[in-house]
Amino acid sequence: MTVVTLNQERAGATAGSFASEPAGAILGDMTATLTSPTFVGRTEELARLAAAGERAAAGTPTAVLIGGEAGVGKTRLVGEVVAAARDNGATVLIGGCVELGGEGVPFAPLIEALRGVVQDLNVADPGGGGPALSTTPGPWSEQGRLFELFLGLLERLGEERPAVLVVEDLHWADRSTRDLLAYLVRNLRQGRLLLVLTYRSDELHRRHPLRPFLAELDRGRRVERLELARFGRAEVAAQLAGIQGAPVPADLAERIHARSGGNAFFVEELAAAAADGDLPPSLRDTLLARIELLGEPAQQVLRVAAAAGNRVDHDLLAEVAGLPEAELLAALREAVSAQVLLADAADGTYGFRHALVKEAVYGELLPGERTRLHARYAAALAARDVAGDPGPAAELAWHWYAAHDLERALPAAVAAGLAAERAFAFAEAQRQFERALELWERTGGDGQAEPRVGMDKAELLARAGEAAANSGAAERAVALVRSALAEIDAAAEPLRAAQLTERLAFHLRIVGRPGAFEAYQEAVRLVPPAPSEARARVLAGLGQTLMLRARFAEAAAVCEEAIAVARQVGARVVEGHALNSLGTAIVRLDQVARGLACLEDARRLAAGLGAAKDEARACVNLSDILEDLGRLQESVDVAAEGMEVAGAAGLRRTFGAFLAGNAASSLYNLGRWEEATSLTGAYLELGDDEDLNTVTLRQTRAVLDAGRGDFAAALAHVAAARRLSGDMFIAVQYPPVLSAAEAEVAAWQGRLEEAAAAVAGGLAALQGPLTDLRACMLLALGLRVEADRVALATARHDPDTVADARLVAAELLRWAGGALGGSEVAWKRALLATCEAEWARVQGQDDPGAWLAAVAAWEASGHPYPLAVARWRAAGALLARRGDRARAAGLLRQAHEGAVALGAGPLRGEVERLARLGRVDLGRDATAAAGPEGASPEGDGHAPAAEPPPGAELGLTPRELEVLTLVAEGRSNRQVADALFISPKTASVHVSNILAKLGVAGRVEAAAVAHRLGLTGGRPGP
């Protein structure tokens, strides 16, 4: 692949030993080179960079951050890396940040780096362009999409062959560039890519915006850092020898080392000065002294160039310098041959040999001269009509501002803001708009400003607010939109007032602040009744908010109105958005067929319009609802299709993650746990620990890990998901699902009180009806735990706890009846049957019939995990009742098969334990068979003597097992001693040994374990 030939040339001109290359007509006959021809030192740094390069080339994306003071040799070092990479056939992209009076130029280095690549790669249009005005809320910003697409581009580049992306001088970077680079470092997981970043470490004052960026990169531990030190004596001597072509006298090397401090750039400048005579008194004088030796026209050209951005093209320089062409060429030739300026033959631009020279020259400009030069640049650029191009537009705005021409700076700032906005550089857009607002005041207010800017102050404020919201400054957005509203007379301009109020509502919703809902209502009140797109949008916003608040009937009414208006005015995207909310709402009102049809329509509409976000959002809601209806395979299919749409549109990490969470949830319910695990794993890989978009993935993963017995992982996902969704405005189902995972873990671990607390917590956090299976599971888990509590408390003669557990259980059963009763959905019937069977257990009458009903219901619904659980319980109830043993054995074998197939470790363990105690042979492949002799009065003849006794896996001796059984019945040490004819002292020793072996803190917990092991029920009492 031939990539960025242009930049490869440029790299040759800015890095490495380039000075002897011809750089166009300007480059004169040069005798001595200022730039060191031989590369000196940096052995260790080169080795580390080579290692990083190898790691990258082997497929692990790697980032190296090089810091060092100006002139120390960062660019030169990077030049070596780049040359080596090219020799190895790598693609090299190079971009430098632009210094513009401390203001960033939107994406400048990346635009430079990518010039030409995009066409080469023939990047497909991601869709979602055209009419796809974004109707989907905030954390999924357009900028996020851009970042994801850029990431994909780099990954693809790295597929063809190793790629190196160099971004130099990050201390000048604009915020959007910093954000993008941070994103890349966080998210690059594949592709042979080496990212090399440089910055001036001496430039970073305490509040420099690069500091938090560097801190973030450090936190992620994904970057290697190099800090370039100055040269020592020997290196300075070597550098000087390179420059002179022969060793220099030791005393000269010594003096230059002392004076330069070992800064490679100053070594070169001092070497040049020394050749001319004595060393000047200061380093700055060293730079200026060489320039003062040049003719006046050359000096004039340098002053002009110093007021430009990093590089300036010939025509612009000529225009601003105002010199006759012949004189200009002569002056340029002189400056280039003195190696103060470098000419780039490829694009006809000039730049200073080093930014330090530029800064010195700029610093020497007289104030009036400086202002005049900026004004001339501004005038020249203005004539070029650069308003649409974010880089030049920013430059123009900066020149007018630096020229103190506030009248012109104002519209230029607005134009630069608009250009930045179009380039998705929202932070820069916000900065420009806010600058414009400041200028608005300074130039005398509305009468003056409005005609020049082409918009009034309210609109400027609104734009600033939108840009702020898009750059993640939602709080600022709220303030700006409020100011915009204050500028408007709602009576005179109800439409604008309504639109702004809708934006306010939207931003408030995104920051999770109160008042969003009221603001939507206010917007609806304000918007003129005549059909308009604005009216449709405002209604759709209110409808969505109502839907998210689970006020489904109201949501449906408002959405219907939004749809009607949208259809009248042909606002298709808004129509789709409202259809989506409507469908989601009315499914919850049991209008299933119609709701699904609405969602299908919304999806088709969005797809037809190329509105990828809306299409993905429709797939999110549709797959969610299909899952709730138990149409699991369809749910997986829709989610997978949505993932494809999202992936192609740069939404893989956002909507894609939500869709993957939905797909995984349905796979979990289908019993395809391995697929669910690898899918969630793959998508979790894409985000980091702070990524809000991983919430659904973690939620599904928590439930999955609880079922698989990876308890620590399950609880970690619960904690992370809770933390992340803390201030997110999200579906009402989240808290109960997370609590269900937590309760399941606690239940398997026999921590009954914690399990009960988790259930209570999940229900207390509920903000709407229970619709999700995993959330409803909370009720069954709650009943299961209360039944266990009853059993344990009964054994311990603790009537208070028994009564309490029964009260709680009755409440849970009532809740289950309300949430699940009377439904056509198979899993709801099955879950209700499970709850009823657990209720019988709560009553102390474990009922095989109730469990068999649950088994039949789960068989009908096709959810293998709860089915296996019900079979296990049914077998247990049959065995306890001395019921149909063959039936019990059959159920237990099926439960075992199911648990093994799922990978449901804890359930499998319980099934095997029950099989041992009940002396049921689980079959040849099972790891366990019958229990110890005498464990059950009715032998079935299969019991192999080799089978370990229950508790053996815990390392308990038979005697300890007996003691534990008694402890579990609530007996004191003395009672245990009496029962076993041992001394109380011996009994107490046994008890402490047991506690230690079980890893529990006290008798109560030990009792819980015993109970769970089935030790309490199966053994005859002493």
Residues of this chain that bind Mg ion (CB under 5 A): 74-75
Smallest gap from Cβ 231 to ligand ADP, in A, equals 8
The window from 64-72, 585-593, 688-696, 852-860 that contacts ligand ADP (CB under 6 A) reads 64-72
Binders of ligand ADP among residues 205 to 264 (CB under 6 A) are: 239, 264
CA distance 664 to 647: 17
268 binds, among Mg ion, ligand ADP, none (CB under 5 to 8 A by kind): ligand ADP
CA distance 844 to 355: 84
Q: Is 36 in the site for ligand ADP (CB under 6 A)?
A: yes
Smallest gap from Cβ 74 to Mg ion, in A, equals 5
The H or E element spanning position 237 is helix 233-244
Tell me the HSE value of 355 on the side-chain side, using a 13 A CA sphere: 22
- Candidate list 140, 183, 199, 265; residue touching ligand ADP; CB under 6 A: 265
Nearer to Mg ion, 312 or 857 (CB): 312
Nearer to Mg ion, 75 or 581 (CB): 75
Could you tell me which residues come within 8 angstroms of residue 702 by beta carbon, excluding any fewer than 6 positions away? 714, 715, 717, 718, 721, 737, 738, 741, 742
- Candidate list 8, 62, 75, 739; residue touching ligand ADP; CB under 6 A: 75
- Candidate list 4, 63, 70, 412; residue touching ligand ADP; CB under 6 A: 70
The window from 63-71, 318-326, 765-773, 999-1007 that contacts ligand ADP (CB under 6 A) reads 63-71
Q: Give the 3-state secondary structure of 363-429.
A: HHCCHHHHHHHHHHHHHHHHHCCCCCCHHHHHHHHHHHHHCCCHHHHHHHHHHHHHHHHHCCCHHHH
Nearer to Mg ion, 166 or 842 (CB): 166
Phi, psi dihedral angles at 928 (to 5 degrees) = -140, 155
Binders of ligand ADP among residues 940 to 969 (CB under 6 A) are: none
Q: Is 68 in the site for ligand ADP (CB under 6 A)?
A: yes
CA distance 831 to 826: 9
| DSSP per position, 713-772 | HHHHHHHHHHHHHTT----TTHHHHHHHHHHHHHHHTT-HHHHHHHHHHHHHT--S---S
- Candidate list 268, 389, 897, 1005; residue touching ligand ADP; CB under 6 A: 268
Q: Is 1008 in the site for ligand ADP (CB under 6 A)?
A: no
- Candidate list 3, 13, 40, 151; residue touching ligand ADP; CB under 6 A: 40
Nearer to ligand ADP, 144 or 351 (CB): 351
Q: Is 351 in the site for ligand ADP (CB under 6 A)?
A: no
Nearer to ligand ADP, 39 or 658 (CB): 39
The window from 67-75, 216-224, 756-764, 852-860 that contacts ligand ADP (CB under 6 A) reads 67-75
* Helix/strand/coil for 84: helix
Task: Report H helices in 821-904.
Answer: 826-842, 848-861, 864-880, 885-902
Q: Is 789 in the site for ligand ADP (CB under 6 A)?
A: no
Tell me the two tokens of residue 349.
């631009």
Nearer to ligand ADP, 337 or 823 (CB): 337
Tell me the HSE value of 842 on the side-chain side, using a 13 A CA sphere: 25
Q: Is 13 in the site for ligand ADP (CB under 6 A)?
A: no
Tell me the two tokens of residue 570.
């042909």
Q: Is 354 in the site for ligand ADP (CB under 6 A)?
A: yes
CA distance 495 to 227: 57
Q: Which residue has the tokens 């709680």?
A: 808
Q: Determine the residue with CB nearest ligand ADP.
A: 73
The H or E element spanning position 67 is strand 62-68
Q: Is 199 in the site for ligand ADP (CB under 6 A)?
A: no
Nearer to Mg ion, 214 or 505 (CB): 214
Q: 187: closest CA among 155, 213, 162?
A: 155
CA distance 850 to 813: 14
Q: Is 152 in the site for ligand ADP (CB under 6 A)?
A: no
Angle (nearest 5°) at CA 509 between 504 and 511: 100
Smallest gap from Cβ 178 to Mg ion, in A, equals 18
Nearer to ligand ADP, 170 or 966 (CB): 170
Smallest gap from Cβ 71 to ligand ADP, in A, equals 5
Q: Is 45 in the site for ligand ADP (CB under 6 A)?
A: no
| DSSP per position, 480-547 | HHHHHHHTS-TTT-HHHHHHHHHHHHHHHHHHT-TTHHHHHHHHHHHS-SS--HHHHHHHHHHHHHHH
Q: Is 41 in the site for ligand ADP (CB under 6 A)?
A: yes
The window from 66-74, 718-726, 812-820, 994-1002 that contacts ligand ADP (CB under 6 A) reads 66-74
The window from 73-81, 557-565, 862-870, 989-997 that contacts ligand ADP (CB under 6 A) reads 73-81
Cα distances from 473 to residues 210, 461, 469, 959, in angstroms, run 18, 14, 5, 67
Positions that interact with ligand ADP (CB under 6 A): 35-36, 39-42, 68, 70-76, 239, 264-265, 268, 354
